[in-house]
Structure 1
Amino acid sequence: MKCCVNSGNRIRELLLIVISVSFIMVLLQTYLMSPAQNTPRNSRSMNSENEPSLSVPNGTVIKAQSTKGKYETPVLLLKQLYQVRHQLVEDVCSRRPELFMTKKSNYEMKIDLAIEEKHPVGYCAMPKLASTFWGKVLPGRKKLAHINQTDLTQGPHTLKRPFTFMFVRNPYERVLSGYVDKLFVPNTLFWGWTGQYILQKYRANSTELSLRCGHDVTFPEFFHYLVQAEKGQQKSNAHFSPMYRHCGPCRKKYDVIGHFETFTQDTNFILETIMNETGLDLSVNIDKSVTERTRIQDKIRLVYGMKKKILKCMNFQEALERVWKGLQIRGFLGVKVKMPLSLDESENFSADQIVDVILEARKKSTASDRRSNNKDALTEAFRQVPLSTLEMYLNLYGPDFELYGYEKRPEAIFDRTTVEDKTYRYFKLDHETKK
């Protein structure tokens, strides 16, 4: 009887959490879609539908008045939302004590500390979760602290508890982003580290070029490797390992668990909190980090830095086509806008000229042409993965879905009764050299 009572109480608790989340999200949506009077003036944005966007007030330090008057209710709602997220993590951790004892490696269970002497800020950087953005915005990070060994309230910061935050993301989208950034879009470092290994171990009859370069790993091959690596704890990589293995969510309570899907409002709240409490002016760093040209320049310069190695595996036109497809997957470019560069232009244009071509194509991409790109690419990629492999993935990565409230079996991925689209708009490159 006691067991039944406890079970009933647990069900009621879960129902209350679900109702609270729904209520808060409805209010947040109402606020975020409300007229411009609740929107900070002169906001800056990344302007990409499927990439993190950021809007912050123009000017210097954001003062405390942003939490009063007309902003009081939104801030209160955000705090309630973060409390609900904390409660979900605590509930899962209480039911799954094994999450306290996760295996650790040199990249797991640590916090990247961005320290200002009187007002410490603790940020746990996780791959594929805007860590590059935060690395540019936050001041110089002075040390790494293993959270299972170091109490962040000790040392020189005993007078004030650090404000801590981390970000999480839909596990399916994180996997796809990892594949696109590290294997699909030219990245000779990961081609050598991961691509060669996958092709040697999991592809029969690989060509000599594939084995030497590791440049043509398909998404199903990558996903199979992902499952096997996590299952055997061999040849795993921080960019692809489960989120629950990072940041110690069961060991440390973060002030804010941000979600990639609500990046704008979570980031605004975090920035306001940091600047209000520390007096730091982060607006300059933000200005340098979120412009479209800066973002594209970073991507193109990375590819140009690997150009000599890339040319040993493919011509540079094909390499730029992959970059182009990657920008379409992220929703930066419309899927109908074709890359206009010939082979000669691809090989002889400077990096800045390529950036200009991309930004010009951006102008020709309508919002409706970009809006569903990420969702369509996600469906296209995962529809190629056998259901049996997906089930193995859920068994191994299950805590990520439970801790952070993501749907385990979305219909778009698991419903195989609909006719499968074989056009492969995003990942199959029917490359024809343009003279």
Structure 2
Amino acid sequence: MRLSKTHWRAVRRYFLVFTAIALLPLALVYLVRSEQIYKIKGYEYINETRLPLIPEEAVQTLSQSDMLMVEKRMERRRKLMQEKCADYGLDAIGNDSWHKPNPWEFLVNRKYHIIWCNVFKAASSSWMFNFNVLAGYSPDFLHKTKEILLNLARERYPRVSLEQLREAQNGSITFIIARHPFERLLSAYRDKFVFAIPHSFHDKLGRKIVRAYRKKQKNVHIGPKHPTFPEFVRWFLDQVRYGNFIDMHFVSTTKFCTPCLINFDIILKFESLEQDQLYLIEKTGLKRVIAPEWRNMGKGKNTLELLKTFYSQLTRKELEGLYSYYKYDFELYGYDVNEYFKMLIEEEGVADDLATISA
């Protein structure tokens, strides 16, 4: 009798084990389909039907009068861009990279009908965070992870063709964030070279620039390990001159996002970002889902004094070279270059002909 009971318990135990093994694949399929599983990489994949909502009392909004004010601001920006695109013939498709639509850097969220061209060093970290939230990554994971947010985003936002982008734009809001070209360039230089991660790509590139562009002295180690700003600018202008590949952190926004060939509904600017972001979030109907996310805004934020410290080190010719490359960025977004020429430490009389620079 004892043997019989022991035998029965063993049979029941084996039955339960085999049943669990048989049902495990079905359970996993269910969890994946319902999107309630933690992926191997450690992030939470939120249920497809909705994202965690921001508490009502924590939602940031603009007043109706502010919404109208920002709306008019956006109309002026769109009009200026259209006029400048036509003036410079950038709205005509051609064979060079300035005249070819470039959908490569767009992130298309079809579910929430929002599309963004990611301009690096223009609140890109902040909106990469938000687009990852919209893709289903939990905010808690995004705050803690060591993974690169762009890599995470590309797992959910595959590159699109021009045809796919055009199709997705129907019923969606497409936006871009602009920043003064020289502020953006300095921010990228400091982030990628001055504060370079040891042994990273830009750290190694910086050392190559130093070896090639630092004047030979009795002590070749005089100066910082990273390229000085003038050394970086000389290297950068040589890349432009020889038609070499321009790093995505430094490339012209006009070439990167081709705004004259791909329509943008909302043009945010770094200088008015606080209001512009709230306007965009309101227009997309996502105010309970995402919020302004201020990331990496410390060392990249350029004060006038900081800008003067770096740009006053350049020669007039170098500054003219930079302006020549970024001219369309200045024109399309309504930025001024004259203040930067005033920063130069040069002979008297430089300021007298500033007007000719923008002609």
Residue 413 (structure 1) aligned to one of 343, 348, 357? 343
1:76 and 2:68 equivalent? yes
Q: Distance in 2 between matches of 1:252 and 1:200?
A: 40
Residue number in structure 2 paired with 1:388: 317
The code of the aligned residue for 1:113 comes to: L
**Equivalent pair of 2:178/2:333 in contact (CA under 8 Å):** yes
**TM-score between both structures, scaled by the size of structure 2:** 0.64
2:256 corresponds to 1:246 = yes
Superposed, 1:170-181 pairs within 5 Å as: 170-181=180-191
**Identity %, equivalent residues:** 22
> Following TM superposition, by how much is the alpha carbon of 1:262 offset from its aligned partner in structure 2, in angstroms?
0.7
Q: 1:423 is matched with which residue?
A: none
C-alpha distance in 2 between matches for 1:221 and 1:74:
44
The 1:116–1:204 alpha-carbon spacing in structure 2 relative to 1, beyond 3 Å, is: same
Say if 2:143 is the partner of 1:143: no
58 and 176 in structure 1: CA distance in 2 versus 1, 3 angstrom threshold: farther
Residue matched to 1:200: 211
**3-state secondary structure, aligned to 1:134:** helix
Per the alignment, do residues 144 and 83 of structure 1 end up closer, same or farther by CA in structure 2, a change over 3 Å counting? Answer: farther
Q: What is the SS of the residue equivalent to 1:110?
A: coil
1:120 pairs, out of 110, 113, 123, with 113
CA separation of 1:92/1:381 partners in 2, compared to 1, >3 Å: closer, same or farther?
same
Which digits, 9 at most, give the CA deviation of each residue in 1:109-157, with x for residues without a partner? 434324252x32101111101111111122225334456x224352xx5
The aligned counterpart of 1:59 is: 56
User: Per the alignment, do residues 195 and 111 of structure 1 end up closer, same or farther by CA in structure 2, a change over 3 Å counting?
Assistant: closer
Distance in 1, matches of 2:83 and 2:173, equals 22
Q: Over aligned residue pairs, what C-alpha RMSD do you find?
A: 3.4
Task: Tell me the SS of whatever aligns to 1:152.
Answer: helix
User: What is the one-letter code of the residue matched to 2:283?
Assistant: T
What secondary structure does 2:122 align onto?
coil
The alpha carbon displacement at 1:201 in A equals 2.7
Q: Is the 8 A contact 1:153 1:162 kept in 2?
A: no
Alignment gaps of 5+ in structure 2: 1-53, 136-152, 349-359
Which of 200-209 and 224-233 deviates more? 200-209
Letter matched to residue 225 of structure 1 = W
CA contact (8 A) 1:401 1:407 kept: yes
Distance in 2 (CA, whole Å) between partners of 1:146 and 1:414 is 43
Confirm whether residue 166 of structure 1 aligns to residue 96 of structure 2. no
Structure 1 residues 153 and 399: alpha-carbon distance in aligned structure 2, compared to 1, 3 A threshold: closer
CA distance in 2, matches of 1:75, 1:218: 43
Q: By how many angstroms is 1:62 displaced?
A: 6.0
Deviations 1:348-407 (A, max 9, x none): xxxxxxxxxxxxxxxxxxxxxxxxx71111001011101111112212221111111000
Alignment of 1:14-29 (within 5 A): none
TM-score normalised over the length of structure 1 = 0.54
Q: Closer, same or farther in 2 for the Cα pair 1:194/1:109, shift >3 Å?
A: farther
Structure 1 residue runs without a partner (length 5+): 1-56, 297-325, 331-372, 419-435
Highest relative contact order (Cα 8 Å, sep 6+), 1 or 2? 2
> CA 1:407 to 1:178, structure 2 compared with 1: closer, same or farther past 3 Å?
same
Establish whether residue 184 from structure 1 lines up as the match of residue 194 from structure 2: yes
Report whether the alignment pairs 1:152 with 2:156. no
Distance 1:201 1:281, change over 3 A: same
Q: For the Cα contact (< 8 Å) 1:61–1:279, is it kept in 2? A: no
Amino acid corresponding to residue 74 of structure 2 in structure 1 = Y
Conservation of the 8 A alpha-carbon contact between 2:120 and 2:248:
yes
Deviation for aligned residue 1:200: 3.2
Rounded Cα–Cα distance in structure 2 between residues aligned with 1:240 and 1:247: 13
Q: Does 1:281 align with 2:281?
A: no
1:132 to 125, 139, 163: 125
Contact 1:231–1:396 (CA under 8 A) maintained in structure 2: no
Larger radius of gyration: 2
User: For the residues of structure 2 that align with 1:205 and 1:187, how far apart are their CA atoms?
Assistant: 26
Count of residue pairs the alignment pairs up: 267
Secondary structure of 1:281's partner? coil
